[in-house]
């Protein structure tokens, strides 16, 4: 759990990505059995999704070429990459040409996760298999991420949805290619177009406002959210419980 590699790869005078706070100013590692999670859609040399779990005071990260899936029949390759600072979670924007990871970054999903089982998240990571439950804006339910043994450089894991109420056979990630932060598409982010909806500060805040013309699938999601907003106290309590 260290950020040296993250810092070494970047030139903070040139990239809008966050520079980690000095060690002594960083948030204490959470003792909660879970934390926040973030997924970014990153149109770099190759399009991929960056899947990040808050563990031990950093964002433990995997690059997932095809992105996560809600279909339990699908196993997604996930390359374990360097830890990122917690501040990176909300990052959305453009990394300039010539810099590490140059390209547009979309905040694709965010929420909280709860570790499944008694074993702390750090120990599950070390053994190469971590089970967790997501409560996010696009993803929900149980997942496992497991290291593949005896393959390549040893950084190859698989991200798999477990069968539960959150499972959606045939789920297609391309039906959900918009930012949970700004409502923008990847192209709109790349072109620095303005946000289409109000930014929200926390995963438990149901006060978001949708002002864009979206595809039907996204509109029905907005309608669902509006229904949820009718019981904001319940939604908030659920988010907090899940975090603990």
Nearest residue relative to Mn ion (C-beta): 42
Instruction: Report the C-alpha gap between 235 and 32 in whole angstroms.
Output: 20
Residues 6+ apart with CB under 8 A from 131: 115, 116, 117, 124, 142, 143, 144, 162
Smallest distance from the beta carbon of 40 to Mn ion, in angstroms?
A: 7
By the rule CB under 5 A, 84 interacts with Mn ion: no
Answer for which of 10, 41, 42, 184 binds Mn ion (CB under 5 A) is 42
Which window, 8-16, 47-55, 136-144, 180-188, contacts Mn ion (CB under 5 A)?
47-55
Which window, 3-11, 34-42, 52-60, 133-141, contacts Mn ion (CB under 5 A)?
34-42
% helix, strand, coil for the chain, step of 5: 25, 30, 45
Inter-CA distances, 159 with 116, 132, 141, 243, Å? 15, 11, 13, 21
Answer for which of 17, 43, 50, 142 binds Mn ion (CB under 5 A) is 50
Instruction: Report the C-alpha gap between 130 and 117 in whole angstroms.
Output: 9
Residues 105 and 95: beta-carbon distance below 8 Å: yes
Nearest alpha-carbon partner for 34 in 163, 134, 147: 134
Smallest distance from the beta carbon of 63 to Mn ion, in angstroms?
A: 5
Which window, 22-30, 48-56, 109-117, 192-200, contacts Mn ion (CB under 5 A)?
48-56
Smallest distance from the beta carbon of 205 to Mn ion, in angstroms?
A: 26
How many residues of this chain bind Mn ion (CB under 5 A)? Answer: 2
Using the minimum distance from each CB to Mn ion, give the nearer residue, 90 or 129: 90
Residue numbers at the binding site for Mn ion (CB under 5 A): 42, 50
């Amino acid at each position: 759990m260290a950020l040296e590699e993250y810092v070494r790869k970047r030139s903070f005078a040139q990239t809008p990505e966050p520079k980690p706070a000095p060690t002594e100013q960083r948030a204490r590692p959470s003792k909660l059995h879970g934390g926040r999670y973030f997924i970014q859609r990153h149109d770099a040399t190759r399009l991929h999704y960056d899947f990040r779990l808050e563990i031990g005071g950093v964002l433990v990260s995997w690059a997932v070429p095809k992105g996560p899936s809600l279909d339990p029949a699908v196993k997604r390759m996930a390359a374990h990459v360097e830890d990122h600072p917690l501040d990176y979670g909300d990052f959305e924007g453009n990394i300039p040409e010539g810099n590490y990871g140059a390209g547009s970054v979309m905040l694709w999903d965010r929420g909280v996760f709860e570790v499944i089982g008694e074993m702390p998240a750090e120990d599950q990571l070390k053994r190469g298999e971590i089970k967790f439950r997501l409560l996010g804006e696009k993803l929900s339910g149980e997942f496992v991420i497991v290291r593949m043994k005896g393959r390549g450089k040893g950084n190859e894991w698989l991200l798999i949805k477990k069968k539960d109420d959150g499972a959606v056979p045939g789920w297609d990630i391309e039906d959900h290619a918009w930012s949970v932060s700004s409502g923008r598409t990847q192209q709109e982010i790349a072109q620095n177009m303005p946000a289409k909806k109000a930014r929200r500060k926390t995963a438990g805040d149901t006060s978001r406002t949708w002002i864009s013309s979206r595809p039907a699938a996204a509109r029905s999601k907005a309608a669902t959210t509006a229904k949820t907003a009718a019981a904001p106290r319940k939604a908030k309590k659920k988010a907090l419980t899940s975090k603990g």
